[in-house]
């Protein structure tokens, strides 16, 4: 369920546009650069993306505009799906094709077969610990790790729990393997590729290509290129935006009456008794008024009390 008002109708002031733009980011630019271009082309005051793609990676980059920035964390923590290609028997200091590449095996190598690869891939399924690479945007004492790496400094990194939900083999071309991986947020595909290369007995591997195809329920097939956005007249660009509440489709819905709407919009709680099934404390829910206008995100602070968690300025009838 989404607000019945179309995104285009919400754009009463173009600099205050709100919604989610799904960008098909090209190879060769940073996520922040892509964000700034989209922000300019959509004349948005506020914008933020929901998870960095490296300059050498391409694919789905959801960009939150206006009121949608309040809910960007819903996608920051969402599962991601990638198509990754990597070359066995070599490693890169950055983990991908942009770094210094050197061989790690000597003598003749034989490419792995389908059975060998699928057997190894199955061992990576489920939960595991992963140490983030030095060439990453994680910060230590306020400084990104990749800056330390460029200075030749290696710092200790704590391992983090990740989950590989799905991992399948797409193609084998000599020593280049292409896989599809669905994983939890925070998984480094470069590190996964290196680990798979070692597990196959080739000493490691480095990424040759990476495409993100899904973020949560959003799919690359829904995304728009920068060229397509720029070639569209300004007044028509807003049709590419998804509603703010599309970020929160995994949360249940609660319809507020007029009194409850005013209470919540003024930061006050509302009481709802005898709700079945009994709601889980701290669980979230999408809030709408009786006209199906999206109000924001609420939270059950106990089994009878809904508190406003994050509200927006409604554009429809109250």
Catalytic residues: 54
Residue written as token pair 């959509």:
42
* Residues 75, 62 contacting (CB under 8 angstroms): yes
Rg (CA), the chain: 23
Closest CA to 162 of 119, 124, 195, 128: 128
Q: Which residues pair with 207 in a beta bridge?
A: 86, 96
């Amino acid at each position: 369920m989404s607000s019945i008002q179309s995104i285009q109708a919400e754009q009463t002031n173009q600099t205050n546009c709100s919604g989610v733009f799904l960008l098909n980011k090209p190879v060769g630019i940073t996520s922040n650069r892509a964000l700034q271009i989209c922000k300019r082309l959509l004349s948005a005051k506020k914008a933020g993306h929901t998870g960095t793609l490296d300059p050498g990676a391409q694919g789905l980059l959801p960009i939150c505009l206006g009121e949608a920035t309040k809910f960007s964390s819903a996608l920051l923590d969402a599962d991601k799906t990638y198509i990754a290609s990597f070359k066995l028997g070599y490693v890169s200091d950055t983990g991908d094709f942009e770094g210094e590449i050197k061989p790690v095996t000597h003598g003749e190598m034989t490419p792995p077969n389908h059975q060998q690869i699928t057997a190894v891939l199955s061992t990576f399924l489920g939960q595991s610990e992963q140490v983030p690479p030095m060439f990453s945007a994680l910060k230590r004492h306020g400084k990104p790790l990749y800056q330390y790496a460029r200075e030749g400094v290696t710092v200790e990194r704590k391992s983090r729990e990740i989950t590989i939900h799905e991992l399948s083999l797409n193609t084998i071309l000599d020593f280049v393997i292409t896989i599809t991986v669905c994983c939890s947020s925070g998984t480094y595909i470069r590190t996964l590729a290196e680990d798979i290369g070692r597990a196959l007995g080739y000493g490691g591997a480095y990424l040759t290509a990476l495409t993100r195809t899904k973020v949560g329920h959003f799919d690359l097939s829904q995304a728009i290129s920068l060229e397509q956005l720029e070639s569209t007249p300004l007044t028509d660009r807003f049709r590419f935006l998804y509603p703010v509440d599309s970020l929160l489709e995994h949360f249940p819905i609660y319809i507020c009456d007029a009194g409850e709407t005013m209470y919540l919009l003024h930061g006050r709680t509302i009481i709802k008794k005898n709700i079945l099934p009994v709601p889980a404390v701290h669980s979230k829910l999408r809030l709408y008024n009786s006209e199906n206008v999206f109000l924001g995100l609420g939270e059950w602070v106990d089994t009878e009390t809904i508190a406003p968690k994050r509200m927006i300025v409604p554009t429809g009838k109250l």
